[in-house]
Amino acid sequence: MEQMKTGTTILGIKCKDGVILASDYRMTMGYLRAGKMKKIIPLTDKISAAVAGSVSEAQQSTRYLQAELRLNQLKLKREMQVREAANFACSMLYSNIKYPTSYNFMYCALLIAGYDLHGGHLFAAQPDGSIQECDDYICDGSGMEFALSIIEAEWKKDITCAEAKHLAIKAVNAAISRDIASGDAISVFQFTKDGTKEVFYGQNDLEVK
C-alpha cells in the first residue's frame, strides 16, 4: 500500500543564543499509522529544515535543496547564509504554483533554521512560496494548535536554547497526546555558534537529561 501523506507537528523557537527546531516522528496514511520518518533534515552543516506535508514531496524537496545549496557553496566558495537558503526554498515553492511542471514535488511546508555569521535565524516557507522570518516561535502541521497553545502560554522574551528545548518537548508532547497523526518520538535540534546538534530524542520531557 502506497504511503501518501504524513500528519505532523513541527515547531521552531528563536532564542537569544540560537534556534531550536522540534518535531514528532509519526508517518500516517489517512487514519493508519504507516511508520516513522525523520522530519528535521540537514540542508548544510549549519542549516536544517523541519518538513510538513506529503512524505514523497518533503523528501524530494529537501534532497533538491541539499544539492542546490551544496552547488551554490562551491560556486560562491563560502557557506550559505540561512536567509539565502530560505529564499531559495521559497523560490522553488513559488515555482510549483506558477509553473507546475518545474518543481511538481514541492507542495510542502518547511521551517528553516540555522546559525550563520549574523546569528541564529528561523524562517517559515509555505507551499505557496511565501516566506516569513520568525523572531519568536512558529508551529506547523496537523498538531500545531496543541503545540502552539503550550508555547504561547509559557514562552518568554530572551528565552535560552536550554529553556526552549524543554518547552519544545512539552509542546510536541502535548500535540502527540491529542493529534492522532503525530507521535512515536520527539526530536529536538539546537543551532548555536557552537554548531548544530540533536539535543533530545525520546518520548517526553521526563527523559530529558
In DSSP terms, 24 is beta-bridged to 186
- Name the nearest CA neighbour of 123 among 187, 37, 43, 205: 43
Say how many residues make up the chain.
Answer: 209
Q: Catalytic residue among 8, 9, 28, 196, which?
A: 8
The CA-based diameter of the chain, rounded to the nearest angstrom, is: 48
C-alpha cell at 62: 529537501
- Name the nearest CA neighbour of 167 among 60, 8, 11, 52: 11
State yes or no: is 28 an active-site residue: no
* Burial class of residue 136 (count of CB atoms within 10 Å of its CB; 0-12, 13-18, 19+): middle
Where on the phi/psi map is residue 56: left (φ > 0), alpha (ψ -120 to 50), or beta? alpha
Contact 182, 175 (CB under 8 A): yes
The dihedral over CA atoms of 70, 73, 78, 82, expressed in degrees to the nearest 10, equals: -70
Distance of CA 21 to the CA centre of its chain: 6
Contact 115, 18 (CB under 8 A): yes
Active site amino acids: 8
